[in-house]
Copies of this chain bind each other. A is one copy, B any other.
Amino acid sequence: MARMTLQDVARTAGVSLATVDRVLNGRPGVNADTAARVRAVMQSLNYRPDRAAMRLARGTGHRFCFVLPKGNNAFMLALHREVLDAGRRFAADRVDVDVLEVDVFDGEVLADALHLLAGRVDGVATVALDHPSVRHAIDELTLSGVSVVTLVSDVPNASRTHYVGIDNVAAGRTAGSLLGRFVGGRKGKVGLIAGSLALRDHIERQMGFEQVLGRDFPELDVLPVREGRDEDEQVERLVAGLLSAHDDLVGVYNAGAGTGGLIAALEASGRGGEVVVIAHELTPASRRHLLRGTIDAVINQNPGHEVRSAIRVLLAAREGMPIITGQEQIRIDVFIRENVPALADGAAQGG
């Protein structure tokens, strides 16, 4: 049983190749009866389109652009690396991938950057601030025919095709539950650090975290959230403050970046052993401290998976193909010392 081609369908349906193609791609200009007949033949011959032939004939490539935050946050750098890497791989499939670095914390700047992309690319993946101008820019991009996906942090009311990232409320809840259980029944205070309360992701993590601690661990007292601005120095200062103000501090959850500062403050205080630490994102630093025992658990989202997923989703949108829901669902990874993945040998890490 060889593969059926459009030729086979055309021949058995008694029409020309062009007609079958029109039917296949839902283009107008075909008599309803003819179309029905052709469809029937496709069914009975079990015809499956050949993607390689389709791409070759269409000849059209895709230009995608990733809009990422400027700065040297380890996770964002990893995302950037993954984009470059994925770009290299997808080149063989005629997709060109670019990166644009902007200050995503400034809604107007981000919105301007997005506007500029209209007409220059076919798809955009952006780590976006949930801000009126940004929402508007996304809607306009979509209207102008560009496919848009949000990455890592969502903009729920914008007309994006898809959100590629984890459920951050659930991530916060996961952190809360692990912290509560790891504290092991002791009573005391728990510190909560976010990067910035401008991006949705950190707010959502905070919500989830407080929700679980309030519900399941009444013996723990969550201190008011502090903004660490994703910077080591700032986080270090905050944690040092918490440690000196509360000698019953039994846990700290860093919902943002800057975990290096958290560790530094803890080590300086000599109280590392008694404080349970939950952080986000597997970076060289967090990995090291996880193995060493300074960090108890890392909640992670896989940057490689996110980038490839964004590209696949954009491609599917462009080629009118369905996506594999399961494959595009980004999981909330929980890493403890025992299951940290081995360092991948190249730049790429994750699945």
Chain A interfacial positions (CB closer than 8 Å to B): 3, 48-56, 61, 85, 89, 91-94, 170-171, 173-174, 176-178, 181-182, 184-185, 208, 212, 302, 304-305, 308-309, 324-339, 341-342, 344-346, 348-351
Instruction: Tell me if B61 and A56 are in contact (CB < 8 A).
Output: no
Query: Which residue in B93, B176, B181, B185 is a CB contact (below 8 Å) of A51?
Result: B93
Nearest CB of B to A154, in Å: 15
**A48-B92, A94-B3, A330-B351 given; A325·B337 CB < 8 A:** no
Which residue, A55, A331, A336, A348, has most C-beta atoms of chain B within 10 A? Answer: A331
A208: which B residues are within 8 A, CB to CB? 338
Q: Are A50 and B94 in contact (CB under 8 A)?
A: yes
Partner of A56, one of B53, B93, B185, B345: B53
Residue of B nearest to A184 (CB): B184
* A92 interface neighbour in B50, B185, B341, Cβ under 8 Å: B50
Known: A184-B185, A326-B346, A334-B336. 4 other contacts (CB 8 A): A52-B94, A181-B182, A185-B185, A329-B341
> CB < 8 Å: which of B3, B331, B348 contacts A324?
B348
A350–B94 Cα distance when bound, in Å, is 27
B346 touches A325 (CB 8 A): yes
- Whether A349 pairs with B326 at a CB distance below 8 angstroms is yes
Across the interface, which residues of B come within 8 angstroms of A85, CB to CB? 324
Asked whether B173 lies within 8 Å of A338 as measured between CB atoms, the reply is yes
Q: Which residues of B contact A327 (CB under 8 A)?
A: 304-305, 308, 348, 350-351
Q: Return the chain B residue nearest A48 by Cβ.
A: B91
Verify B338–A350 contact, CB threshold 8 A. Answer: no
Taking the nearest CB of chain B, how far is it from the CB of A333, in angstroms? Answer: 7
Please tell me if the beta carbons of B174 and A336 are within 8 angstroms of each other in the complex.
Answer: yes
| CB-based closest 6 A-B pairs | A326-B348, A52-B55, A173-B338, A334-B334, A51-B92, A332-B339
Q: Are B48 and A51 in contact (CB under 8 A)?
A: no
Q: A54 CA to B54 CA in the complex, in Å? A: 13
Q: Give the contacting residue for A331; candidates B49, B61, B174, B333; CB below 8 A.
A: B333
- A sample of 12 cross-chain residue pairs with beta-carbon separation below 8 angstroms, ordered by A number, consists of A49-B92, A52-B52, A173-B339, A184-B185, A302-B331, A305-B327, A308-B327, A326-B348, A329-B341, A334-B334, A334-B335, A334-B336
Which B residue's beta carbon lies closest to that of A308?
B327
Q: Which residues of B contact A53 (CB under 8 A)?
A: 52, 56
Q: Is B174 a contact of A338 with CB atoms below 8 Å?
A: yes
A234 CB to nearest B CB, Å: 28
How many angstroms from the CA of A270 to the CA of B346 in the assembled complex? 51
Contacts of A345 in B (CB 8 A): 325
